[in-house]
Structure 1
Amino acid sequence: MKHRGPDSAGYALYGEPSELLVMRFTLADPNDSQDFDFSERLERSRREVESRLSKIGASVDRVQSESAYAYRATFRYEGELKPLADYVENIPGCEVLSLGHSLEIVKDLGDADTVAGTYQLNDFRGTHGIGHVRMATESDVDIAGAHPYWAYPFSDVAVVHNGQLTNYHQWRRRLERSGHRFQSECDSEIIAVYLAERLAAGMSLDAAMKESLDDLDGVFTYLVVTKDSLGMAKDEMAAKPLVLHEGENMVALASEESAIRAILPQEIDSYDPYEREVMVWSR
């Protein structure tokens, strides 16, 4: 799917759940890599991340470098995720991309092959995931504008989205008043937090997604993933493309059928979901 957007690519991948929390984070934007003190600043920030994790009560397993500015930390922690993520993100330049027992979000500048190669994603083993390639049209080319989005501060929930929410600012203010913060100006992040807030209140994923069709205005198709589920929703106009294939042991969705056929060389049946359709698969 990389032809749909060369500016950035991202993956939300789900490995087998672990007792350890996995935190993916960046300590700088790649556009800053020419700064004269870039390497020294990142090393100081990395040490500060480890220090703050320990201070808040986490038992750090390891913090490893994934690229010049991206890192993966594993640790044990029994407290709430929001204070931990807020404390870590208070380090200048730090952005938490994902946090959970199975979710790992990897995203960076460049096309899908470039990002997958940089982070050695061919070696990843898991159960399900979603990906996104982006052509920047309304915001800067940076990691903050890349999909997928973690539903901060809820564990193991991520979203990708094609379209535009016309009541974005209304929902952002409402969610911010509830104590949520956002990493970007992208409307897709609103969908992630909207759904996760309802899941945390005890609503099923299917019910939360159906409610979103009444609350969120605009033209959109989105995918949401949790530790054990995958869901898709289309607005009442169904103008944004999505092709679906359901097999005996898998489900595959993409903006174009060519992406599904690239991984399933045999003859397949596929179809476009209808207007206001919500579908959820669980494992």
Structure 2
Amino acid sequence: MCGIVGLFLKDSRLEPELGAMLTAMLVTMTDRGPDSAGIAIYNADAEKPFKITVQSPEGDTEFGTLADRVAALTGAPARLERKGSHAVLALGRDRAKAVLAMIRSDFPGLRIMSQGNRIEIFKETGLPQSVAEAFGVAAMRGTHGIGHTRMATESAVTTLGAHPFSTGPDQCLVHNGSLSNHNSLRRQLVRDGMRFETENDSEVAAAYLTHRLQEGRDLGGALRDGLADLDGFYTFVVGTETGFGVLRDPIACKPAVMAETDRYVAFGSEYRALVDLPGIREARVWEPQPAEVYFWERAA
């Protein structure tokens, strides 16, 4: 049992409040999974850098060294913002591949949480309230985001085992449920060049969608492919640089509710996660149908 929330803003005037709204929604879901929590925020930086979010189990002891190494590699001062046990590194897109390779080879103690033009992922073990406070999530702005509070059933209670899972640039997934064929899918995806950091079945689902996106599918198409290839019971909420999608398996045994107004689209494992959103009394509220893809997208 886990708790999922998601918020996709149509009204740009709500963007400064995205972090606060997502935090309140996620904290409401605490009793669905108190082991760990995480949030993915999509925010358009005015300078439009490529962003790499990293986590250190030792706190920030490695972050200063990382900034120096990135500056030496790129020939320019590194912009690195520390947030709790995480740091967001901003750099030119043309340097991203080299920097990612350097982090993986020279900083084995750092974990890469996300990478992309707009995505930042923050996740840790502990209660949602504590995790959100540690990273200052309530003060974050953005266009859309998803969150997850976990009850560990498929793998250990660790930072890497927490959701969201990101397996490609600006793409992430949160999952409530369980996949029965994730081991065979993992082996197939590894043969196709995908990387895995955990034994969690949800990471396999994220990698499956990333692989489909790399093959040229849009998010909606990738989710529809999953109905044939992913065996189990699940509710997914996923994000890309410009998109936000929801999918329940054909049985739809996991709870889910959505609300839409002219200002936002919201998702919660339960309606109580949505009750404090602005204009919720006037929202169209519905339960997403089994095996039906719901997908919204905004201009890049």
**Alignment TM-score, normalising by the size of structure 2:** 0.82
Where in structure 2 are there 5+ consecutive unaligned residues?
1-28
Shift of the alpha carbon at 1:105?
A: 0.3
Q: Deviations over 1:88-111 (max 9, x none)?
A: 133232100011111000111221
Shift of the alpha carbon at 1:77?
A: 3.3
Cross-structure match for 1:163 = 177
Q: Structure 1 pair 60/19, CA: closer, same or farther in 2 (3 Å)?
A: farther
Whether 1:280 aligns to 2:260 is no
Contact 1:156 1:227 in 2 (8 A): yes
Whether 1:16 aligns to 2:44 is yes
Cross-structure match for 1:26 = 55
Q: Secondary structure at the match of 2:141?
A: coil
Cross-structure match for 2:151 = 135
Structure 2 CA distance for aligned equivalents of residues 156 and 58 of structure 1: 25
Structure 2 CA distance for aligned equivalents of residues 71 and 12 of structure 1: 14
Cross-structure match for 1:35 = none
1:110-149 paired onto structure 2 within 5 Å: 110-149=126-165
Cross-structure match for 2:80 = 63
Cross-structure match for 2:35 = 7
Structure 2 CA distance for aligned equivalents of residues 99 and 54 of structure 1: 18
- Higher RCO by CA contacts (8 Å cutoff, separation 6 or greater): 2
Shift of the alpha carbon at 1:139?
A: 2.3
Aligned partner (choices 79, 82, 85) of residue 100 of structure 2: 85
Structure 2 CA distance for aligned equivalents of residues 92 and 275 of structure 1: 41
Cross-structure match for 1:32 = none
**Alignment TM-score, normalising by the size of structure 1:** 0.87
Shift of the alpha carbon at 1:259?
A: 0.4
Whether 1:256 aligns to 2:273 is no
Q: Secondary structure at the match of 1:125?
A: coil
Contact 1:66 1:119 in 2 (8 A): yes
Cross-structure match for 1:234 = 248
Cross-structure match for 1:180 = 194
Q: CA RMSD in A?
A: 2.0
Contact 1:52 1:88 in 2 (8 A): no
Contact 1:131 1:148 in 2 (8 A): yes
Letter in 1 for 2:120: E
Indicate the larger mover: 49-58 or 221-230.
49-58
Q: Deviations over 1:231-255 (max 9, x none)?
A: 0111111111110111112100110
User: What fraction of aligned residue pairs are identical, expressed as a percent?
Assistant: 34
Shift of the alpha carbon at 1:51?
A: 4.6
Indicate the larger mover: 204-213 or 266-275.
266-275
Cross-structure match for 2:17 = none
Structure 1 CA distance for aligned equivalents of residues 238 and 92 of structure 2: 26
Structure 2 CA distance for aligned equivalents of residues 20 and 60 of structure 1: 13
Q: Deviations over 1:122-171 (max 9, x none)?
A: 211111000000122332221011000112xx211010011111110111
Contact 1:148 1:160 in 2 (8 A): yes
Contact 1:12 1:103 in 2 (8 A): yes
Cross-structure match for 1:190 = 204
Q: Deviations over 1:163-182 (max 9, x none)?
A: 11111011111111122211
Q: Secondary structure at the match of 2:54?
A: strand
Contact 1:221 1:238 in 2 (8 A): yes
Where in structure 1 are there 5+ consecutive unaligned residues?
29-37
Whether 1:213 aligns to 2:242 is no
Letter in 2 for 1:222: F
Shift of the alpha carbon at 1:66?
A: 1.6
Cross-structure match for 1:244 = 258
Structure 2 CA distance for aligned equivalents of residues 163 and 47 of structure 1: 39
Contact 2:274 2:280 in 1 (8 A): no
Contact 1:8 1:143 in 2 (8 A): yes
